[in-house]
Amino acid sequence: MRAALSAARRVSLAICIGGFASYSAICGTPEEDDAAIAQNLAAMLRDARTVISDQQDLINNPQLGDKHLTGDVVLAQAIAKYEKDTGSDPKKVDPASRQGRLLRAMMAAIVEVVDDNQPTINEEGTGFKGFIPAVFARLVAESFVHLAKGEAEIKVTAPLELVRNRKARPDPWETEIIEKRLLDPAWPAGQPFSATVETKGRPAFRFMVPEYYAESCLACHGSPKGRMDVTGYPKEGGKLNDLGAVISITLYH
Ligand code: HEC
């Protein structure tokens, strides 16, 4: 009996270990579960966006036609990064669980966006194609919202005055959290904000992950403010380590 109990305990411990950063995976209170799911969805989106960032030279090579950078190739590279970050294999999460369903929706969205954009990626004779990490992330977020069928939403947003694409604008709640919390100099860098709030008439767990400008962002979002960047948008005058992005996740209850 004791042996059986401790075996069961070992199993449940094994399930609880291996989440993202300080969040252990699927165990604990519902809020912790939601936080783990949100954190893992953000991690998958970020890892896929890093793949698109790493592949910019290939994507923008005007000499090459077919780049063999298909949805499956990008997803495999994103999963490898995700496994390294989180220590867990997203394909093994129970597909019947909320986390399993939503992670699969995210992976399907990544594949869909890369596959839909093959004509752009493979266009010969054009250098810069505008298929940049931010555009990719917005398209994946849109596709995820569609595939998650009202169960969850994700958006990559930013402080209102920095937002380029109207579709990425923060809603009033997001704006308040960005201004009062994430932009507060006392807010610990990188720490997510979470709360359970009524959203679109439904109770929802909301999770906001702050991200900061790195040197590589400033070619487009840096100085001089107002000067056009390579994509045709005026630069925002951002500085290194400024809050430049927020991954916002909503899990409806
Ligand atoms: C090549 C220029 C370029 C670089 C480099 C770049 N961005 Fe952007 N960024 C853009 C463009 C263009 C958009 C608008 C994309 C769209 O149409 O959705 C954008 C959009 C965004 C958005 C979505 C909100 C909005 O404004 O529409 C965030 C957040 C963002 N960028 C943050 C970053 C961060 C953080 C980095 C560095 C890791 C970065 N960007 C690097 C050009 C760039």
pLDDT of 58-82, one tens digit each? 999 999 999 999 999 999 999 999 9
Q: What angle do CA 120, 249, 114 make, to 5 degrees?
A: 15
Return the percentage of the chain with pLDDT > 90, whole number. Answer: 87
Q: Is there an atom of ligand 1 within 6 Å of 240 CB?
A: no
Q: What pTM value is reported for the model?
A: 0.90
| Nearest CA, atom 15, ligand 1 | 135
| Nearest CA, atom 34, ligand 1 | 217
Length of the chain counted residue by residue = 253
Residue 74 CA to residue 78 CA, distance in Å, equals 6
Return the best residue to mutate from 163, 165, 166, 183 for the ligand 1 pocket (most ligand atoms within 8 A of CB): 165
User: DSSP 3-state assignment of 67?
Assistant: coil
Q: Do 144 and 106 touch, CB atoms closer than 8 A? A: yes
| Number of other residues whose CB lies within 10 A of the CB of residue 120 | 13
Residue 10 has pLDDT above 90, yes or no: no
Q: How far is CA 135 from CA 29, 157, 167, 185, 186, in A?
A: 35, 12, 11, 29, 31
Return the best residue to mutate from 164, 171, 246 for the ligand 1 pocket (most ligand atoms within 8 A of CB): 164
| Nearest CA, atom 19, ligand 1 | 134
Distance in Å, CA 109 to ligand 1 centroid: 19
Distance in Å, CA 252 to ligand 1 centroid: 27
- The domain limits of the chain are 28-149, 152-253
Q: Do 153 and 145 touch, CB atoms closer than 8 A? A: yes
Q: Is there an atom of ligand 1 within 6 Å of 97 CB?
A: no
Q: What distance, in Å, lies between the first and last C-alpha atoms of the chain? A: 38
Distance in Å, CA 177 to ligand 1 centroid: 21
| Nearest CA, atom 40, ligand 1 | 217
Measured over the CA atoms of residue 18, residue 207, residue 187 and residue 234, the dihedral's sign is positive
Mean pLDDT score, 180-194: 98
Q: Is there an atom of ligand 1 within 6 Å of 230 CB?
A: yes
Q: Which residue did the predictor score with more confidence, 6 or 69?
A: 69
Q: Do 155 and 168 touch, CB atoms closer than 8 A? A: yes
Highest CATH level, class, for 152-253: alpha beta
Q: How far is CA 237 from CA 28, 222, 227, 242, in A?
A: 43, 4, 9, 10
Q: Is there an atom of ligand 1 within 6 Å of 216 CB?
A: yes
Complete edge-to-edge strand list for the sheet that includes strand 193-199: 152-157, 243-252, 202-212, 193-199
pLDDT of 120-166, one tens digit each? 999 999 999 999 999 999 999 999 999 999 999 999 999 999 999 99
Residue 102 CA to residue 76 CA, distance in Å, equals 17
pLDDT of 206-247, one tens digit each? 999 999 999 999 999 999 999 999 999 999 999 999 999 999
| Number of other residues whose CB lies within 10 A of the CB of residue 191 | 13
Distance in Å, CA 161 to ligand 1 centroid: 13
At position 108, the amino acid (one-letter code) is A
Q: Is there an atom of ligand 1 within 6 Å of 132 CB?
A: yes
Q: Tell me what pLDDT residue 30 has.
A: 80
**243's torsion region: left (phi>0), alpha (psi -120 to 50) or beta?**
beta
Q: What is the mean pLDDT of the chain?
A: 91
Q: Which atom of ligand 1 is nearest to the CA of 211?
A: 35
Residue 205 CA to residue 41 CA, distance in Å, equals 14
Distance in Å, CA 36 to ligand 1 centroid: 26
Distance in Å, CA 83 to ligand 1 centroid: 26
User: Residue 139's closest CA among 175, 114, 158?
Assistant: 114
